[in-house]
Amino acid sequence: MSTDEELIEEIKNGSQAAMEVLVKRHYKYIFAYVYRKLGDYHLAYDLTQDIFIKMMKSIHHYKGEGKFEHWLLKIAVNHCRDYFRSRSYKEKEEQNTLSEQIKDEKENVWDLISKKLESEKVKTAVHKLPEYQKEAIILKFYKGLKIKEIAHLTDSKEATVKSRLKQGIEKLKIALKGGDNNGVEQKENRSR
């Protein structure tokens, strides 16, 4: 089986087949990150496509230093950050608060099954976290990265990542046990 680096060389030489193999190999890895970051299936699909477009556009810059998967994940991390800063996200947030009740009625079969498996509970807890904490938690728990690797991917200091993880873990523990985050948030605000 060809390595990622070999496939990239083939893509640079114009191979559509190599591009297909490379995208299929990493699609779910990237989609899972984006989906957990956004919690929205359709949006995650669109953003994943954008991430792969960015990958294709910058494939010439990939020099084979470090794992390709991490290079691609870094594109995903930055793209998600760009999205949260975008106007479309802010507009969507406003709409979401208005239509939360309607959304509940429109939930599809998957969401119902997902709820049974407590997936929804965890999803809600993760999405209540502030963006940077959520990002660190997803990279740590779902991508299995070390603090050093997360720091590199997110252009942050290791101490910052550790702090984000610590705060995120505390909030998650409370949220998943059924409590609320107010205590932790107040403590956090005092320490800022």
Partner 1 sequence: MEWNKKKIDHDDLSDVVEQVEFEELEKELNQYLVKYPDEKMMDSTIDTLGQYVPSKRKKNIKYKERMQRLMKIIGTEISTVRKGYWVASVILFVMGYFITGYGAYNPVLTLAILAPVPFVFGLVEVFKGRENGVLEMEMTCKFSSYELMLFRLLIISVFNIILNSILTFAIVPYAEATSLLELVFIWFTPLTLFAAISLWLSIHFRGVVFISIFIPLWLLFSIVLINGSASWTNYLLNVNFLFHLSCMLIGLLLLVLQIKQLIRKYSTYEGGTTFEVNN
Site residues (vs partner 1, CB under 8 A): 1-2, 6, 10-21, 23-25, 27-29, 31-33, 35-36, 41, 45, 48-49, 52-53, 56-57, 110, 114, 117-119, 121-123, 126, 137, 140-142, 144, 146-148, 162, 165-166, 169, 172-173, 176
* Shortest reach from residue 52's CB to partner 1, in Å: 6
Nearer to partner 1, 114 or 160 (CB): 114
Distance CA 118, CA 139 (A): 21
Nearer to partner 1, 5 or 91 (CB): 5
Nearer to partner 1, 94 or 108 (CB): 108
Distance CA 136, CA 134 (A): 6
* Shortest reach from residue 110's CB to partner 1, in Å: 5
Nearer to partner 1, 33 or 83 (CB): 33
Distance from the first to the final alpha carbon of the chain:
50
Distance CA 192, CA 187 (A): 9
Nearer to partner 1, 91 or 110 (CB): 110
* Shortest reach from residue 101's CB to partner 1, in Å: 22
Nearer to partner 1, 48 or 156 (CB): 48
* Shortest reach from residue 58's CB to partner 1, in Å: 10
| Surface-to-core class of residue 71, CB atoms within 10 Å of its CB (0-12 exposed, 13-18 middle, 19+ buried) | buried
* Shortest reach from residue 94's CB to partner 1, in Å: 25
* Shortest reach from residue 74's CB to partner 1, in Å: 16
